[in-house]
């Protein structure tokens, strides 16, 4: 199978070696069965990545997995591009099963997803383990997803305004289908182990709410239905946060005025906050192991998550005001998949040049629509490397 390019974005985590071991070609084979491109997305690398000689490393620019995958597929010279995360483990027959998946689809199919398996311990899983296990039920996840290069080219690839490993694959799949391609599930199997994390991982994951706000801007109130994403808890988080703010404000007013009515409002609002927080914590504690460490972690993080989630949402809502979806060119109905006709593979390929940043001064409201139509979608602002705060695409943001 030499008509496939495998693209792996990475920040050099140790699990990358495990992936290479699973993809290693048979020593007796004259050539590797597929070309493997690794995009080194470390923001400040000290040393080159240690990779086998059959792997090509492309330099990334530290802007996250969406931008790194775009660098990878644009450097590909084959009809199919397969995206793998650097922390997955393809099955023993993965390459053969991949070839069978791609051979079985018709010309109107633009993508084929692999089957993800998340092994869990024999005991009750923790909150983080359950979040990761949700990947097994996710749709079109780029932990193991093959796309025709023609389909990626038609829609412009991943939206780089989504800087985390969160929602960017669902958004791409939506645009690919809008352009006229269909997507299918394959039979190849890939294991996605649960990565060890500290107790505060669920708090860090709330940064993904800013990405949700962008998608709300792009696709309207029914954006979850449009992108086929499960329902979240944002409205409950907003109610809990409002109760906490009301309790704090009423308490200050009572202290300042001595009016007992303010004290009564503060008590009611505090009771509402306590009830909402208790329900959230219970929903996370009951299915888990219920040991002391997990219970204390859930109690602490359940108090912090609602206001933090709302804050990140509001930040994203303000940052991405006026944004529009990337343009989509429809594929002609019944048209066969176009063969890739590109120059021979070079020894090394540079990344795509970074888009220049827009001026710091925004246009006024009267001129903003015209400026946006001329300049296109605004590039994502610089953020800390999102690989270091990765959140699974299925339900990580609460």
**pLDDT-based confidence at residue 346 (cuts at 50, 70, 90):** very low
**pLDDT-based confidence at residue 391 (cuts at 50, 70, 90):** very low
Say whether pLDDT at 223 is over 80.
yes
The whole-number pLDDT of residue 336 equals 52
Bigger pLDDT: 398 vs 87:
87
The whole-number pLDDT of residue 1 equals 57
Instruction: Please give the C-alpha separations between residue 164 and each of 27, 186, 374, 385, in angstroms, as whole numbers.
Output: 37, 26, 27, 8
Sign of CA dihedral 306, 308, 314, 317: negative
**pLDDT-based confidence at residue 394 (cuts at 50, 70, 90):** very low
Mean pLDDT on 268-283: 98
The whole-number pLDDT of residue 100 equals 95
Mean pLDDT on 99-115: 96
Residue whose pair of structure tokens reads 């009515």 in the numeric block: 261
Say whether pLDDT at 357 is over 60.
no
Buried b (16+ CB within 10 A) or exposed e, 73-91: bbbbbbbbbbbbbbbbbbb
Bigger pLDDT: 339 vs 191:
191
Distance between CA atoms of 267 and 274, rounded to whole angstroms? Answer: 10
Euclidean distance between the first and the last CA atom of the chain, given in angstroms as a whole number: 41
**pLDDT-based confidence at residue 29 (cuts at 50, 70, 90):** low
**351, two tokens:** 């990344």
**pLDDT-based confidence at residue 32 (cuts at 50, 70, 90):** low
Of 67, 328, 69, which Cα lies nearest the Cα of 176? 328
Say whether pLDDT at 209 is over 70.
yes
Domains of the chain: 4-197+326-389 (3.90.550.10)
**Lowest mean pLDDT, pick from 80-94, 259-273, 291-305, 320-334:** 320-334
> Cα 89 vs. chain centroid, distance in angstroms?
19
| pTM, rounded to two decimals | 0.81
The whole-number pLDDT of residue 398 equals 45
The whole-number pLDDT of residue 328 equals 82
Mean pLDDT on 61-66: 94
Residue whose pair of structure tokens reads 């827009």 in the numeric block: 358
Mean pLDDT on 153-166: 94
Distance between CA atoms of 70 and 147, rounded to whole angstroms? Answer: 12
Say whether pLDDT at 95 is over 80.
yes
Bigger pLDDT: 295 vs 166:
295
Say whether pLDDT at 183 is over 70.
yes
The whole-number pLDDT of residue 355 equals 46
Strands across the sheet containing 35-40: 55-59, 35-40, 4-10, 80-84, 144-148, 109-117, 182-191, 89-90
Average pLDDT, the chain: 86
Mean pLDDT on 66-74: 97
Element (H, E) at 257: helix 234-257
Say whether pLDDT at 10 is over 90.
yes
**pLDDT-based confidence at residue 329 (cuts at 50, 70, 90):** confident
Mean pLDDT on 333-348: 47
Of 37, 40, 70, 58, which Cα lies nearest the Cα of 163? 70
Give the DSSP letter string of 108-123: TEEEEEEEEE----SS
41, 69 in Cβ contact below 8 A? Answer: no
């Amino acid at each position: 199978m030499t008509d496939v390019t495998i693209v792996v974005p990475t920040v050099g985590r140790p699990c990358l070696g495990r992936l290479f071991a699973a993809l290693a070609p048979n020593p007796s084979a004259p050539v590797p069965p597929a070309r493997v491109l690794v995009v080194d997305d470390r923001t400040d690398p000290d040393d080159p990545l240690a990779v086998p000689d059959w792997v090509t490393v492309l330099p990334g620019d530290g802007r996250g997995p969406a931008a790194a995958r775009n660098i990878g597929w644009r450097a590909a010279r084959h009809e199919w591009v397969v995206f793998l995360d650097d922390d997955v483990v393809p099955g023993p027959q993965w390459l053969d099963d991949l070839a069978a998946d791609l051979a079985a689809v018709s010309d109107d199919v633009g993508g084929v997803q692999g089957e993800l398996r998340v092994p869990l311990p024999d005991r009750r899983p923790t909150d983080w383990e359950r979040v990761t296990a949700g990947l097994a039920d996710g749709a079109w996840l780029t932990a193991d997803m093959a796309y025709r290069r023609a389909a990626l080219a038609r829609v412009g690839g991943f939206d780089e305004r989504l800087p985390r490993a969160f929602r960017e694959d669902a958004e791409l799949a939506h645009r690919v289908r809008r352009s006229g391609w269909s997507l299918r599930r394959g039979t190849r199997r890939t294991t996605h182990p649960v990565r060890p994390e500290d107790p505060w991982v669920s708090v860090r994951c709330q940064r993904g709410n800013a990405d949700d706000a962008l998608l709300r801007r792009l696709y309207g109130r029914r954006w979850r239905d449009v992108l086929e994403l499960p329902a979240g808890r944002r409205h409950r988080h907003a109610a809990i946060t409002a109760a906490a703010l009301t309790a704090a404000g009423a308490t200050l007013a009572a202290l300042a005025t001595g009016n007992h009515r303010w004290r009564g409002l503060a008590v009611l609002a505090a009771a509402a906050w306590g009830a909402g927080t208790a329900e959230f914590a219970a929903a996370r504690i009951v299915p888990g192991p219920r040991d002391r460490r997990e219970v204390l972690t859930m109690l602490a993080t359940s108090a912090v998550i609602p206001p933090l989630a709302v804050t990140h949402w509001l930040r994203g809502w303000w940052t991405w005001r006026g944004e529009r979806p990337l343009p989509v060119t429809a594929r002609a109905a019944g048209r066969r998949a176009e063969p890739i006709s590109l120059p021979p593979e070079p020894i090394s390929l540079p990344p795509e040049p970074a888009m220049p940043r827009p001026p710091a001064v925004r246009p006024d409201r009267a001129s903003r629509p015209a400026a946006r139509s001329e300049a296109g979608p605004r590039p994502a602002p610089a953020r800390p490397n999102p690989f270091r705060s990765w959140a699974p695409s299925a339900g990580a943001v609460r």
